[in-house]
Amino acid sequence: MKKIHKLGLSVLSGLLLFAAWPNSYLTLLIFIAFVPLLFVADHTKSPKELFGYTFITMLIWNTSTTWWLWNSTSVGAIAAIIANSLLMCLPWWGYSICKSKYPKPFSLVALGLFWLCFEYIHLNWELSWPWLTLGNVFASHPSYVQWYEYTGVGGGSLLVLYFNLVSYAFSHDLNKRRTKKVELIQLLILLFPIALTGIFNQNVLSNQEKNATNKNIIVVQPNIDPYQKFELSNANQQIDLLISLSKSSIDSNTQLIIWPETAMSVAEWQENITSNPYYQPIFEFAKQHPTITILSGIETFKNYGAVKETPTAHTSSSGMYYDAFNAAIAIKAGEPIQLYNKSKLVPGVESLPSFLRFMSPVFEQFGGSTGGYGKSTNSAVFKMAGTGIVSAPIICYESIYGEYVNSYVQQGANLLTIITNDGWWGNTPGHKQHLSYARLRAIETRRWVARSANTGISAIINDVGQIVEQQPWNKAAIIKYNIPLNNKITFYVKYGDYILLTGLLGTLLLALFFIYNFIKKRFI
């Protein structure tokens, strides 16, 4: 195969991955998106050469689906896209080495394990950016993946890999003119998951249950410019807007009001929140409506005194150590405030991995984090006294982590409340993809989702991932809805990303097998 043909096939794979990604109507292209690249791999002997062709595919995929990061940070976007593209090449580099030493079927299975291993690590290490986890591809078509309550997105990744590898084997055998019997068997193997998925999804959707309730919640979308919302001169007007929008729809059955991420934008020491003069109208509003809880995003500080209690702690001019937090707060008259500090921070923007903290001045210069936000070590739920609501205060980026969202449900959360500020990216595919990913969390946990986004899209999502009500981008608005509560614990909530973990364990076993063979050939 000529280099120009290899280049063309590498580009084609990248374009197919882009064409399939949410919110596309061409999602099913994902099932053949890697096939052109597999043909390139089949005609490329050098791991280094295949790494180059694979990088072209991954760079096209990452750039075309996450270019909107540029609107928030240009240098950060370039760094994220290039770094993610390089990391995605590693499973293919492993495959190239493997296929030079072992039979093709074995090597293809190894590629699947390598990719699942990559996704598991990318969900759990300090530079985590799992936006393009393969299982996310079905986010805008939840009817395809009702079985995520058993597998999470790892099941979707496995299905995508399965189809691509079997499709490649099928087309490869067609080229070699295998018998019709072999071709028919392969075709049946290929179509079996589709039939199984269709039967399961139809059963779930036709038997959907709704627990009626006369209690409602209100989701507020204030539509405040994200680049002006932290200016102190605008704080009073912003709070007045949030309260005004909330008042416009409350009634005697309202139990919960949800404001977006950092809606309370006047940074304050956590112990002084209730006495902050800017926030007094909020506490007064809560007193006037004692049956209502306000859940909001808030910027806070925590004072450690003379002791540096965390690696992320900053030092003030007086030598005092403190952390800054992107947090969530629950306010109800007569009850202590509840606080949760965001745990899953955006790399480079909200945090720096420990091995990159020496680059803090560089990140600061280009709009990133210097020492990073402080963070919680685990999730926490908000219990709404007298309502039966146990809320999962999921802050922005955290909503793309299925296993982490599970941890809220394991603590009793019966409602997922996502608070976010997607306005940094402008009216681009970014905020639409983010909304779609929330639909997968609903399926995985079988919980309703109430999503408050500063500039949109705010939405109510039911427990099968359907958007039942939403407000458009760039509009001040509210949603009022009677949300059923659910205490079911799904298989995925219990066992988490076991499929991706299997990829990690499988890769480790293969590594041991390779090492054993190397030692055997070299020394025995």
Backbone angles phi, psi at 205, to 5 degrees: -70, -35
Give the residue from 416, 421, 372 showing the smallest Cα distance to 394.
416
- In this predicted structure, what is the pLDDT of residue 183? 54
341: which strand partners?
A: 327
CB atoms within 10 A of CB 280: 12
pLDDT tens digit at each of 524 positions of the chain: 789 999 999 999 999 999 999 999 999 999 999 999 999 999 998 999 999 999 999 999 999 999 999 988 888 899 999 999 999 999 999 999 999 889 988 999 999 999 999 999 999 998 999 999 999 999 999 999 999 999 999 999 999 999 999 888 877 665 555 555 555 565 666 666 666 666 666 666 666 656 657 789 999 999 999 888 888 888 999 999 999 999 999 999 999 999 999 999 999 999 999 999 999 999 999 999 999 999 999 999 999 998 988 888 888 888 899 999 999 999 999 999 999 999 999 987 888 776 665 555 544 444 444 457 999 999 999 999 889 999 999 999 999 999 999 999 999 999 999 999 999 899 999 999 999 999 999 999 999 999 999 998 999 999 999 999 999 999 999 999 999 999 999 999 999 999 999 999 999 999 999 888 888 887 77
* Inter-residue contact 398 to 378 (CB < 8 Å): no
- How high is the pLDDT of residue 75? 86
**CA-based torsion, 225, 231, 235, 237: positive or negative:** negative
Cβ neighbours of 510 (radius 10 Å)? 19
Distance CA 266, CA 4 (A): 57
CA 439/CA 462 separation, integer angstroms:
8
Rounded to 10 degrees, the C-alpha dihedral 494/498/499/502 comes to -160
Q: Which residues contact 432 (CB under 8 A, 6 or more apart)?
A: 22, 23, 457
Is residue 31 helix, strand or coil? helix
User: Using a CB cutoff of 8 Å and minimum separation of 24, what contacts does 374-377 make?
Assistant: 374/302, 374/310, 374/312, 374/313, 374/323, 374/324, 374/325, 374/341, 375/312, 375/325, 375/341, 375/342, 375/343, 375/344, 375/345, 375/351, 376/340, 376/341, 376/342, 376/343, 377/343
> Where do the H-state alpha helices sit in 258-372?
280-288, 360-365
Task: Write down the pLDDT at residue 471.
Answer: 97
Under 8 Å between Cβ of 493 and 403: no
Between the two ends of the chain, the Cα-to-Cα distance in Å is: 38
H/E run at residue 325: strand 321-331
Q: Give residue 316's pLDDT.
A: 86
Three-point CA angle 171, 16, 459, nearest 5°:
130
Q: Could you count the other beta carbons within 10 Å of the beta carbon of residue 411?
A: 14
Q: What is the DSSP letter of 167?
A: H
